[in-house]
Amino acid sequence: MIHSTICKVTQKAFRLRFVEVSLLNSAQSVYNTSMNIIPIFVPHEGCRTRCIFCNEYSATGVTGVPDEKEIVSTVEKYLSFFRHPEDVELAFYGGTFTGFGNQQKYLEVATEFFKAGQIKGIRFSTSPGLISERLVEYLKPYPVNFIELGVQSFDDTVLEKSNRDHNTSDVYKATHLLNSNGIKFGIHLMTGLPEDSESKDIHSTREAIRVGASSVRLHPLVILKGSLLENEYKLRRFSPLDLQESIEILWKMYLLLSTSNVKINRIGICLYGKQIDNVVAGPFHPAIGELVRDRLFLEIVRAFSGEMKRNELRLHNKFKPFFTGHKKGIVEEARKEGILIDFAHDGEEIDVSLYMRRIKERVLEGVYAEA
């Protein structure tokens, strides 16, 4: 019953992240690659509404909620193969954790592992509409380190059309409460929702930064089997963004977050095996995170080439891992635009952080708006 797969970054993606954040001089603040997460999935538990885009059974392959024995078994299994079992958090994903009756039992089971020194703490996902002063007081006896808020958007029309159970006022109240009580939180944002737009997504990103999220998960909408949107799609009343349209929005969100020292936990929905077959339509790609980063670095190549007034770039070898791109995508796209990229041990340097700041300014000025 417990989904036994952890969403892992590939070795290539890890190298990209390491080099990228090293150039930004913020390796520790932008990405956390050391914490081991034990995922416990509780699909749709505690949800007060059925979001138009959601079917957690399709996304996880999990068809029910675990009992205490299953949680213990899952934790013991993961602890047995973690390389660094001293850095472990137990995470409850899916549903609305603060909205269903099993939460106390789950918190107590997790707390026993914490007292035994087997985990560092607990994290869970929930709706901003179910964060209250009473809840914060209730959580204080438990080792809750982190709460992920399913915000999705900072636009009330988008939230209403998506059938979310909260509005932006709820988000601001929740984040204020968590900040006031020293509880770290992350925010889940989606793109391509009904009535959404690039300008709204940029606004949501800026607000996530402003309210103090320590991390953000970016999720372009895909239509899942069994979701309410599947029927709308089949009736031709809704069409999702395609992959390229999504990337054109996501790279700007990624840039704003990474230059603001906000961790980006993941880009794209996490699907494996048979669950991939449950995607009806939309921008699903197993390497979408790399494609988004590639799009940003392509923009850096364009800016650097334009400033140097040269179409032949001979870069230092250390830039090769992240200026080549997924399946050489950056090199090939640059070539189509007349920019030739080569690498050598005595090649030239690019001040990546400088160009990221400049491009960020242009994004905020709306230069790339609705590109």
Residue 328 has what DSSP assignment? Answer: G
Cα–Cα distance for residue pair 239/303, rounded to 1 Å = 33
Cα–Cα distance for residue pair 114/227, rounded to 1 Å = 36
Spell out the residues 6+ positions from residue 54 whose beta carbon is closer than 8 angstroms to its own: 44, 224, 227
DSSP string, 343-370: EETTPBP--HHHHHHHHHHHHHTTTTTT
Q: Which residues are 187's β-sheet partners? A: 149, 216
Q: Rounded to 5 degrees, what angle do the CA atoms 144, 146, 152 make? A: 135
DSSP string, 82-134: -S-TTSEEEEEESS-GGGSTTHHHHHHHHHHHHHTTS-SEEEEEE-GGG--HH
pTM of the model: 0.89
List the one residue out of 237, 266, 241, 240 whose CA is nearest residue 253: 266
Tens of each residue's pLDDT in the chain, 371 residues: 434 334 443 333 433 443 344 443 332 333 344 578 999 888 767 677 788 888 665 666 666 788 889 999 999 999 888 877 778 999 998 878 888 777 888 999 999 999 999 999 999 999 999 999 999 999 999 999 999 999 999 999 999 999 898 999 999 999 999 999 999 999 999 999 999 999 999 999 999 999 999 999 999 999 998 889 999 999 999 999 999 999 999 999 999 999 999 999 999 988 878 888 889 999 999 999 999 999 999 999 999 999 999 999 999 999 999 899 999 999 999 999 999 999 999 999 999 999 999 999 999 988 776 54
List the one residue out of 358, 249, 231 whose CA is nearest residue 306: 358
What was the pLDDT predicted at 6?
41
What was the pLDDT predicted at 102?
78
Region of 67 (left: φ > 0; alpha: ψ -120 to 50; beta: rest) is beta
Taking only the tens place, the pLDDT of each residue in 1-35 is 434 334 443 333 433 443 344 443 332 333 344 57
Total Cβ atoms within 10 A of residue 286: 12
CA-to-CA separations, 195 to 70, 158, 206, 221, 240, in angstroms, rounded = 41, 5, 19, 12, 11
Cα–Cα distance for residue pair 288/246, rounded to 1 Å = 10
Identify the structural domains of the chain with CATH numbers, from first to last. Answer: 11-284 (3.20.20.70), 295-364 (no CATH)
- Residue with the two structure tokens 């070795």: 11
What was the pLDDT predicted at 369?
66
Is the distance from CB of 132 to CB of 166 less than 8 angstroms?
Answer: no
Taking only the tens place, the pLDDT of each residue in 355-368 is 999 999 999 988 77
What was the pLDDT predicted at 23?
43
